[in-house]
Amino acid sequence: MRTREGPDDSMTATEHIPVLARELVDLLNPVADGVYLDATFGGGGHTRELLRRLGPKGVVIAMDRDRESLERAAAGMDDPRVVYVHGSFSEMAAKVRALGFEEVDGVVMDLGISMVQMKDEVRGFSFHSTAPLDMRMDRESPVTAADIVNGWSERDIARILKEYGEEKKALQIAREIVRQRQKGRIETCVQLAAVVERVYRRRGRIHPATKTFQALRIAVNDELDQLSEGLSNAVSILKKGGRLCVITYHSLEDRIVKRFVLSAERQEGTLIRLNKKPITPLWDEQRMNPSSRSAKLRGVEKL
């Protein structure tokens, strides 16, 4: 079995451990004085790994749609080569150009949320949390998970649970949500988790509300449209020979990336795949960082 070193010993439990960090930067193959966009800065783990491989003239544009995460991680990163910007995937090209960069040598997209966001009690991402059902990555965006759970029709809730959660019991859960909210608003994460548990009896280690929470998070943050727009934006700002590396965590995301890449390679002839099969974490990384288990890394080069 192949093994390799795990994350830094200095990491605390609340820090985000970057997934496939070395593999991602190897695939990106950075040039020393290049300009790179980390479009999912998060806790800054991938940016840190990238900075190790850049020279003094290299630049990393660190972007995140979560202003709090961005400010917190920026405060812990004292490096003049990093430029910070608040923004989402759909604004990627405009944000980069507004900073004065026409093109970049590489783009990193590490999808989903960070451990820091997940563990932040008040953000409402975790089914163990007594916090309000929020789930917005960008707290300036208008719709929260509570708005969906308490305001949408049974049909629309069932649709997102099926489409975004691939939840087999979507209809029953939606029906139970509507039944319970007639007795009083479903305000917190634990309340919603309890509603799902009325439909599903708990079996094994996976919480029965996992798919429901995934679906709500995707809907609240419009994650799939954001991803499609992000991929097009990334390619539009890449130099010829520049590279885009994407890490996905579930099949819906991975399908979008795979289709985008295949169409660009075979139909438009604008990209070439760097790896035909996705790179996945080694056993050691999966053991040390269970949230890396479903990660898939794909890289492309602009022609």
Ligand X SMILES: C[S@@+](CC[C@H](N)C(=O)[O-])C[C@H]1O[C@@H](n2cnc3c(N)ncnc32)[C@H](O)[C@@H]1O
**Number of chain positions touching ligand X (CB under 6 A):** 22
Whichever of 46 and 211 has its CB closer to ligand X, that residue is 46
Minimum CB separation of residue 125 from ligand X in Å reads 11
Where in 3-86 does DSSP place strands (E)? 35-38, 59-64, 82-86
Give Cα 39 distance to the centre of its chain: 10
The dihedral over CA atoms of 164, 283, 137, 119, expressed in degrees to the nearest 10, equals 120
Does residue number 124 form part of the binding site for ligand X (CB under 6 A)? no
**Near ligand X by CB under 6 A: residue from 20, 27, 28, 42:** 42
**Near ligand X by CB under 6 A: residue from 104, 114, 219, 231:** 114
Structure-token pair, residue 134? 């929020």
Does residue number 40 form part of the binding site for ligand X (CB under 6 A)? yes
Does residue number 112 form part of the binding site for ligand X (CB under 6 A)? yes
Q: Could you give the CA distance from residue 257 to residue 221 in angstroms, rounded to a whole number?
A: 18
Per-residue burial over 44-57, b = 16 or more CB atoms within 10 Å of its CB, e = otherwise:
bbbbbbbbebbeee
Q: Which residues, 6+ apart, have CB-to-CB distance to 285 below 8 Å?
A: 4, 6, 19, 20, 292
**Near ligand X by CB under 6 A: residue from 43, 106, 208, 281:** 43
Minimum CB separation of residue 38 from ligand X in Å reads 7
Does residue number 34 form part of the binding site for ligand X (CB under 6 A)? no
Summarize as ranges the residues that interact with ligand X (CB under 6 A).
16, 18, 39-40, 42-46, 64-66, 69, 88-89, 110, 112-114, 137, 226, 230
